[in-house]
Amino acid sequence: MLGTMQDRPLALPHIFERAERFFPHKGIITADATGARSRRSYGEWAERTRRLATALDGLGISADGRVGTFCWNTAAHLELYFAAPCSGRVLHTLNIRLYPEQLTYIVNHAEDEVIFIERSLLGLIGPLLESFESVRHLVVIDDGAPTPLPEGYDFIDYEELIAGSEPATFTIEDENQAASMCYTSGTTGNPKGVIYTHRSTYLHTMAAMLADSVGTCERDVILPVVPMFHANAWGLAHAAVAAGADLVMPGPQMTPPALADMIVEERVTLAAGVPTIWMGVLPELEGRDTSALRVIPCGGSAVPKALSEAYREQIGLPILQAWGMTETSPVASVARLTSAMEDLSEEQQADLRAAQGMAVFGVELRIADQLTGESLPWDGETRGELQAAGPWVTGDYYNDDRAPDSFTEDGWLRTGDVAVITPEGFVRIVDRTKDVVKSGGEWISSVELENEIMAHPQVAEAAVIGVPHPKWSERPLACVVPVEGAELTKDDVLEFLDGRVAKWWLPDDVVFIDEVPKTSVGKFSKKDLRDRFGGHVLPTAE
């Protein structure tokens, strides 16, 4: 007779109860609006989380009601991360950097019943409160900011809410029920809602703990700079709890000096954020003790090779590039070099670290022809749309008729990224489908051009867009932010690129700007640049 296995749901209460039972002495350090840091043990956090779940009952939140959060990365936000889904509700993290009309759209579209707001963020959300149709309760979390409460609303104090509640018992029987939801950044049209189930979150958490992925473990001190309102903080909030790792939550203290202080003073081992964050932090770490750091995961947009190498040269640790999307929970690939790559030259290894790497265990990736849908070869040269599938890759959007356009007939997610895949399975994203420069029937990768320009020692940031050309349809325009005090010219940039890229890739013009505009999740906003420079007249018409 064949044996049988126990059928236990893959659900968040197991992650929560593991930390509660095995690691009550470990903890969460949170920086508040004043810069002060406080510590809360996992034991204290667990009891507060159970009380919070009961408080949701007291507020009359529906059995599967949406619980909105408008918060920084804090211990209180981590309490909400588990209290809502472990009690059967759906956590809905609201992106504090979205445009006002987008925030109103997603609150109403998700039908949030309550919103938890950190006091320092009241100024952002206050003017929008009257536009929220389904919200019945507003709870304020005091993070030390002196922000006044907007008049005309009944706010509930978070600490009083918890104090008046008894600890709840958690039971989730259906692993496929929704645990949380996150909306995309909405670069084209309204944001789209992605649902994460208990099962998908559980499996994604396990993936983040794999040695060849991010490798979170009990000995780690984790600083998630990536916001908890963006794709589950890349899974680090769940993985830290599952592993029993200490957490350092930056709260509103997101400046490079503050982050550098936390890395050094709290002996952080794992710090994760987008490239623009690490550009600012690197100078702040110069000459300081960063010996505790073992890995710096980075994603959101392509990591410039020059930035990764600058970290390797200064602190002995290159950046670890990872790739994913809101739709992939988000971790889908990690650029960890394999043992077969150890004999490559430093330059070759640096090139590979600047790629998006190999699909993590559990995720499948492929490239396909955008027009025919035909799968393309993994030869490191053939370019196609990157598509993804896996147990934590969404197959739909929440209540959205745009969903069919984002998935293939056989159920793979169409990522919108253009990529090549090497025979070894290393993915290199060369552009977004909407950002490639289409010149004379050929594609020019804006990402690869940007990386080469940002290798110039006098360039702080660079973004490349296509602008209309009478003969070639489009030609590249480089938008460059010089290092403060640098006297950089167009010829300096073009001479630096000469020999580093094909001559027909050289930008037709270079404009100097104060800052590259960013999206709500810290990526370069090419849309804003196209709006600004779409009518730019190129100096030649060859």
> Mind telling me the catalytic residues?
184, 327, 438, 443
| Cα distances (angstroms) measured from residue 232 to each of 38, 77, 227, 247, 445 | 23, 11, 8, 15, 30
Q: In whole angstroms, what separates CA 303 from the centre of its chain?
A: 13
- Rounded CA separation 207/363 (Å): 10
Q: Specify the 3-state DSSP secondary structure of 93.
A: strand
Contacts of 257-266 with CB under 8 Å at 24 or more apart are 257/284, 258/31, 258/35, 259/223, 259/225, 259/284, 260/284, 260/285, 260/288, 262/31, 262/37, 262/223, 263/223, 263/290, 263/293, 264/288, 264/289, 264/290, 266/29, 266/221, 266/223
Q: Specify the 3-state DSSP secondary structure of 427.
A: strand
Tokens of 41: 């043990």
Preceding omega of 423 cis (within 30 degrees of 0): no
Please say whether the beta carbons of 59 and 114 come within 8 A. Answer: yes
Tokens of 303: 């990591």
- Rounded CA separation 453/431 (Å): 15
Question: Where does residue 42 fall: left (phi above 0), alpha (psi -120 to 50 degrees), or beta otherwise?
Answer: alpha
Please say whether the beta carbons of 15 and 216 come within 8 A. Answer: no
Task: Kindly tell me the burial class for residue 423, based on how many C-beta atoms sit within 10 Å of its own C-beta (0-12, 13-18, 19 or more).
Answer: exposed
Question: Strands, DSSP E only, in 119-152?
Answer: 137-141
Tokens of 175: 């692993």
